[in-house]
Amino acid sequence: MDRIFFNRMAFYAYHGAFPEENRLGQRFWVDLELGLDLTPAARSDDLNRTVDYGKVYQTVKAEAEGGPHALVETLAEGIAKRILERFGVEEVKVRVTKPDPPIPGHYDSVGVEITRRRRE
């Protein structure tokens, strides 16, 4: 299966389990990997035979900046669901990263990664 990547899309949103996260907001990074057959697009050089990257970005943006959700797991699931519903992909991998979560400790970031497949 071929892959299309979207790396580190950045959004500011109000997701989180703590009241201050919903009030103040924070940064979120979203990485996306779409699994599909790119042969028809590559052979025809036709945008209509692949996924429109701009439309994918707008779909992710709407979900990422919507909500709010208490969990990044819910955000990732919502993104995956929208992508599978709207685009002709067989599989989607979504990674949502919180670079600045309000938890004590020393780390670069926290996040989740999920993979969902189209059901027949």
The residues assigned a catalytic role are 98
Q: Do residues 21 and 15 touch, judged by C-beta distance below 8 A?
A: yes
Report phi then psi at 103, rounded to 5. -130, 145
Question: Which residue has tokens 């993104």?
Answer: 79
| Structure tokens, 83 | 């992508």
